[in-house]
Structure 1
Amino acid sequence: MPGHAALSLNRCNLPARVLGSVAFQKAPQWLWLDGVMELHQAFFHSLKPFEKAATRASCFRDYMSSCFLLDHLDQAGLNPDAACARPRADFLRMLRGWMFDADSREAAVLKGWVESRFGLRPGYHLGPVGSYHSDSYRMFQAARAQGLYNTNALEAQLDVLYAWCQYELRRRWPDTLHFSLYRGANGWRQHDVLASLPDNRHILLLNNLNSFSSDKEHADAFGDTLLVTEVPAAKILWFPGLLPGVLPGEKEFLVIGGLYDVQRLLW
């Protein structure tokens, strides 16, 4: 893992240089954010009797509403007369913003959350993101701050979303550690290729958050290069059908980045 792509500290059970490595991709472990399961363990224990994913999803929506007062933001301190009141800036708004534009303000919040929790620095946002002292990094941090401003524990909401996604992955596919996913991309030469291997395989340093699809044709529509890789389940923040009825037309998986052994498909 290149040193510039990883922080020395994170809020996860494995350091960034480990969870961001190819070795982790090939032999993953489950990831845990510090204190999240401990804080919300009663909720996750309450899900055990429910066999239907739709029922559990309804419980999750209710829990998020009650835990973060999403339906009673006045009790959470919202001032509707504030110059920049943002009552709808919740975790679902961040997901919708990402699906619309991966360089949006909402996307900056998601990339900043990945950096904070997993220690993987963003490599691209409206252009390549440089070192801490670069203008590009300051612009990224400004977009992230704008996205977080006057919101209600937004990054804590994303913590619970990740824990929920991981719970559902283990519940629905208990024996699955990897998913074969596709990514369409433009400008192959602009990718951060660390090594080239036989059979059109390459070691890529991906952005700290990326969109993938399980549908080859759907992914191919998003670029002139089609990649396929084995994504650890532990690195998935969102998958289609996680919350039935939410973002129903989207087929994207949100995948945490790092180094990946990918195959470039020529077809």
Structure 2
Amino acid sequence: MYGCDKSPTSCRGDDKATLPRDARLPINRCNLPAVILGSLAYQRHPAPLLLDGIAELHRDLFRRLEAASDADRPDVFRDYMTVRFRLEWPEEVGLTGRNQARAKANYIKVIRGWSFDSDSGEGAVLKGWVESRFGLTPRYHREALRDPAGDAYRRYTEMRAQGLYGTNALEAQLDLLYTYCQFELVRRHGASRHVTLYRGVNRLADHEVLEKGAGGEHVVLLNNLNSFTCSRDRACEFGDYILAVEVPLTKVLFYCGLLPGALQGEDEFLVIGGVSSVVLSTF
């Protein structure tokens, strides 16, 4: 059984959930509740995460992807997104005049915006999408977010709303991006369930530490969406210390090679958060 409403300390030594109540919503839009998918148990024993209705509504896309070669699948996905969401014909979805400019706020623009600044409006949209779909609330956006009724959280929700306003089903585009990413990861990694990723930090105190252990091993609560890299050398460029994490592949929203040309360099991975066991070390 996954569930556990005890404190992180009382859950020590077992595989029960350790996600604090204030870091999750009671409902989400996938097949597992936030208390499970955001837990330490889930990091150790991941299971598939399925967004509600996406596979059923887009059977034709995944049929085409199954039939395509490795080299062709990114183009199949891009073409489907362009046609499905009328990305090159904004007037057909009612975006005219000044509102037509908002059509440019598509899934690629959002990912690029995050890459430049995770605390940008695009970052707020992505964190809001994770909150909506997986039930994991953001812990940081320009400032700590601890009180849903506080000013900091209000500023974050305003940025999220501004980022979504007048767009063409932007969160639905992100649903498909995540599902396509999972499709590719299964094809490329087979039965593997984890990938080792790294994050450069200047101090562990920048993260919410739930439990400190020996040898640099700690349990932390990550933000609901985070940037990691698959290159340890690259991670050291962003901080004096390196967090190494065994990330469930099911928590990868996007990685640099998924859509060639979308991002440049850094071997970046966008990773859904929750409670995680990490190893802190110096380079």
Taking structure 2 as the reference length, what is the TM-score of the superposition?
0.91
Q: Distance in 1 between matches of 2:98 and 2:46?
A: 48
Task: Give the equivalent residue in structure 1 for 2:212.
Answer: 196
Q: After superposition, give the CA deviation of every residue in 1:146-176 in whole Å (9 maximum; x if it has no partner).
A: 1001100000000000000000000111121
- Listed one character per residue, the Cα deviations across residues 204-229 of structure 1 (whole Å, up to 9, x for unaligned) are 00000000001001111112221001
* Structure 1 equivalent of residue 77 of structure 2: 60
Compare the two structures and name the one with the higher helix fraction: 2
Q: How does 1:161-172 map to 2 (within 5 A)?
A: 161-172=177-188
1:16-55 residue pairs with structure 2 within 5 A?
16-52=34-70, 54-55=71-72
Mapped pair 1:153 → 2:153: no
Q: Which amino acid aligns with 1:42?
A: D
Aligned residues, how many? 265
CA–CA separation in structure 2 for the residues paired with 1:226 and 1:250:
15
Within 5 Å, give how 1:1-267 maps onto structure 2.
1-52=19-70, 54-82=71-99, 85-267=101-283
- Report the aligned-residue RMSD: 1.2
Distance in 2 of aligned mates of 1:22 and 1:44 = 31
Report the Cα distance in structure 2 between the residues aligned to 1:95 and 1:167, rounded to whole angstroms: 18
Where does structure 1 differ by over 6 angstroms across 4 or more consecutive aligned residues? none
8 Å CA contact 1:241–1:248 kept in 2: the answer is: no
SS in 2 for 1:145: helix
Matched position secondary structure for 2:92: coil
**CA distance in 2 between partners of 1:251 and 1:141 (Å):** 29
CA drift of 1:203 comes to 0.2
**Do the aligned partners of 1:12 and 1:118 also contact (CA within 8 Å) in 2?**
yes
Secondary structure at 1:203's aligned position in 2?
Answer: strand
* Cα deviation code 1:49-74 (max 9, x no counterpart): 2232x200000000000100001111
**Which ranges in structure 1 are unaligned for 5 or more consecutive residues?**
none
Identity of matched residues, %: 50
CA deviations over 1:236-258 (Å, ceiling 9, x no partner): 00012101222133421000000
- The DSSP-based 3-state class of the residue aligned with 1:127 is coil
Question: Can you list the C-alpha shifts for 1:105-130, whole angstroms capped at 9, x where unaligned?
Answer: 00000000000000000000001012
Task: Indicate conservation of the 8 Å contact 2:65/2:77, yes or no.
Answer: no
Q: 2:222 aligns to what SS in structure 1?
A: strand
Gaps of 5+ in 2: 1-18
TM-score normalized by structure 1? 0.96
